Amino acid sequence: MMSVYAITLSPFALCYTRAMGRWQPDALLRLRQAAMELFQERGYEGTTVEEIAQRAGLTQRTFFRYFADKREVLFAGTGEFETKIVEGVRDSTEIDPLARVVGAFDAVAKVYFDARTEAVRQRRLIIESSPELQEREVLKLGRVVSQVAVVLQSQGQDPSAAQFISELGMLVFRSSFAIWASGTTRETLAATIHATLERLRGIVSR
């Protein structure tokens, strides 16, 4: 299962000093940084909340102020990702409904993915290492598809067409993400999305 969500609002590249006191206001970033380090060193399954808190120089109580469990470290920010996609489809001036959907993914990619390439790719590897995380990812992606379909229906598409267009838009995004995240292309994710849509249109028009 390919992971496409990014912790888009969490700049993992920011560093912390482990000697910092627990009162420091950057606890959230420290916990995220510590978790990512440990997930990469020991694997997701081999890392505990206690170890994350210790690595960040904080307590477990502090961890649970920010996250319900260790999975949420990897899925923090996905709510905003979903919101931006839905808003992008709703506010688009494109006439073609598929272009509205793909354009929303393109816009989000430019702002949140292409600017944080390494963090996104690190997260992808962690997600792919755990069936539990993959299942969580599938559920969240499905929710995006459902929400986008509702928007398309409100814009005049019948339910079956809205669902199909939404799923097709997600397919374009996921296929593009797989290419981009693998590191086999020097193109940005946004450019890869555009190229994938053009290839799809070329296949359909034959």
Domain that holds residue 148: 75-204
3-state SS class at 145 = helix
Give a yes or no: residue 13 inside a domain.
Answer: no
Residue type, 112: Y
Structure confidence at residue 4 (pLDDT): 52
Grouped pLDDT means (10 residues each) for the chain, 206 residues: 44 37 70 94 95 95 94 86 94 95 94 84 90 92 96 96 97 93 88 92 77
Give a yes or no: residue 64 inside a domain.
Answer: no
Cβ neighbours of 12 (radius 10 Å): 18
Report the C-alpha gap between 39 and 203 in whole angstroms: 40
Give a yes or no: residue 103 inside a domain.
Answer: yes
* Cα 192–chain centre separation: 16
Give a yes or no: residue 55 inside a domain.
Answer: no
Structure confidence at residue 115 (pLDDT): 82
Q: Which of 36, 23, 21 is nearest to 120 (CA)?
A: 36
Domain count, the chain: 1
Structure confidence at residue 42 (pLDDT): 94
Report whether 116 contacts 8 (CB < 8 A): yes
Give a yes or no: residue 144 inside a domain.
Answer: yes
Ranges assigned E (strand) in 10-167: none
> Residue 103 maps to which CATH number?
1.10.357.10
